[in-house]
Structure 1
Amino acid sequence: MEKGLQKRVFEVMPKITNAHLSPDAFQKMRVGLAFQLFGDEVIKVLFLYSKKIEKACGPVAPTECFVDKINRLIRVMTSRTPKKALYLRSSNCQFLEEFLSYLTEWEQYTKVTNGGFLSENTADGLRVTIKSTVELLEFLTSVGFRYLLTANLSQDKLANVFGIVRQMSGTNDHPTAAQFLITINALVFYNLARPPKSGNCSPQVITSLISGTKLQPPTQRTIDAVDCLIDEGNFSGAEAALVSCISADHTPCVVQKSHYMLTYYIAGYVARNALRMTQCEHCGSSLTTDKSEAMRSDQASQFTAKFDNGGLLYPSGPPSAAIGVLEDSFTTYISVNKLHEKSLVDFSAFLRNIELPLLGCKVHAAALTKNVVKFYVLLRFRFLTKSQNNEKAEKQQRMKLLKLRRCN
């Protein structure tokens, strides 16, 4: 048949190619090609063209019987569902026993005819695989299991591990025992800390295992704040506070923190706006300090001083500490909660458990602190929503360009 017309007619074995019949050195190592060569398509071809094959090559029945045996062996040893699983005293289990006897008879026959059998290593490996599968099935049945999914006995993963060991620190086909143990220990830790491709946990949860952060129990202030919300009848606020404040066992490991020098820089911006909120001279003087005093007393002011062209303010101790606590609280909340329409309300309930230093004089401390907290919280949520909206817009633009590229 001409090459151009091959795909216009029905084909009995379309998956069989020259790679199956005349494989090169690399293709001989591909198990998938061997599975297809002993698959149902070849059996169908032997049946469909049996007369032509018999005229050219002799009887087809022995070859068909051999291919059928190997095909059934492959199906029995690669079962993935309970319906096709291996059961004790089933026909498939009996077939494995018969196949071992078949191997022995085949080997005895080829000793007389001088050739035509498997290599010694292949035959021994095949016997060990089948016998170990049957013995494992007997053991599992004795301890209460009903069947065995033989596909799970694949040694591909084990072969991959040995391949990684041989390629570790350069090609080394014969690693020593010490090198093998060191590599295996490194792989065990890598698999523990590597984020999964799919699962019900975020990558940060897994990578946080390399951190030595110790877990902190809830403080008494947190418990009292939740009790106060319950006494007031604010059950929704209490629930939000519990969800936000009583963290999961991995929360302290995955929360993100802003750099303390950047927090100090933002604290200066907040102090500038706080000066507009008060007319009290004592409150205004307590919010800021001069550059030399800030450089001497607070290491966090180095970033602000480095990029100060003469217009930046240096917050004093109380506002710097208050903004630091607010920033840590905000980053902690955002790290473990997704942004939604009630995030501002939930974060306000979260702040009820946080102790903040008061700002200004005793007369205006409560009002000034409240205004500063309100300003900073709105500022941070505005920054967050703007950044997320920009990311969403960029993603939509990328998808639009990708769609246009596919159309063109």
Structure 2
Amino acid sequence: MKVKYAAQILSNTVAAVLKLLSEADLNPQHKHELMETALVIQDLYKLFDYTNGPSGPQDIKKGIRQNVSAKTDHLNVWADFRKKMEKLVFVKSNGMAATNVRCVKGYLITLSSLQDLWNKLSRLGFKYLNLRQLNQDALENLFGIIRQHSPTNKNPTCASFIGAIKTALISGLTAPHNRGSNCEEDCKKLLTNFHELVFENESMPKKDDDHDDHSAREEKEMEICEDSQLSAPVLSLPEVLDFEDIEKDLTDVDSQPLVYLSGYIASIIIKQYNCLRCKNNLTAEEPESCPLFRYIKLREWWNAKSCLTYPSLNLCRTIEIAITVFNTEIIGCLHQKNICQLAVTLFFIKCDISWFSCEMHSKLVFDVMFVRLSRLLVRRQCQRVNLSLSEKEENLASAVKNAQQRGISK
């Protein structure tokens, strides 16, 4: 059951993009339809959050995604969504209304069941209910691990499925979680593992050692990056910059993801270095009246307060130049070793960082910024290449399988 594309479409991100397109007047004849579609997707995303609990403390969104308790408004929201879904009408291609829509009936049953379950648990004295424990994420992730043993076999036989699940259980379900899978990582573990059953007297290796080795590798990589950056010359931009033209370019709809990425990187740096001067350099002074942040404003959960980070124009310009450098000079040699180190070095050479006025944290800030950006860009490009290769491999496997069924090839 592959629902990851539906989950990606019915998200707050897509709703914000549709609102942005509606306000940009690029499609005036479809402006009303874009806004209505965005509002529907936003309501569905809210419904998903109110019927699914947080995966951990870091995943809690107050007032949106949290455990059910007497202080939350889950019961009221569930009742409101029940009224809305009872009035939903699906129109067929011939203009007639559909009479038997199973997804709506199923969700109505789910909302009624959650309400009855919480009423029962609250009467028994329970104070919280984590809805995350009621979904099928663990089962979906198990099937995802099984599919990783034979990614090109879309229709496995019973024998191949049994072999794959045996391999997954023996390895302790240690396959990496796919970021593009149907659901989020559930962080569940087996009660025992193959090593403990076979070698009962031998002690398992400590996980702290692996964590220390991973941290040591990261520190070594950072030291290499720092050493390579000390002797790198910096080519500054022209002294007279037409900031109005730069801001106009970034205001364009196609550049809004770049602005959002800049805000994400700025938020990471601000949390790591609690410095007022760094914050003033990385964030905008008056984002409310600036059209540059239309997409970020649409991504806000609450209208009354701002929770996202609005990057400064200088930061957006620096990230834009770094992405351009990556697309023109790094993608062609992505197969080489130490590619992130090469990307960081080129970022320091090509980008102007003289606008950053905090001398105490200047080098540390741009180290973190360029290392994080290089990893994001390299990972994203690898995902694109892997997706293309995977599609070719699946198409080839399907063609061979069809040919074998017709008796054309062995």
Decide: shared fold, TM above 0.5.
no
Question: Looking at both structures, which has the greater relative contact order when contacts are Cα pairs under 8 Å and sequence separation is at least 6?
Answer: 2
TM-score bracket for the superposition, by shorter chain length: 0.3 to 0.5
Over alpha carbons, which structure has the higher Rg?
1
More helix by share: 1
Q: Give TM-score scaled by structure 2 length.
A: 0.34
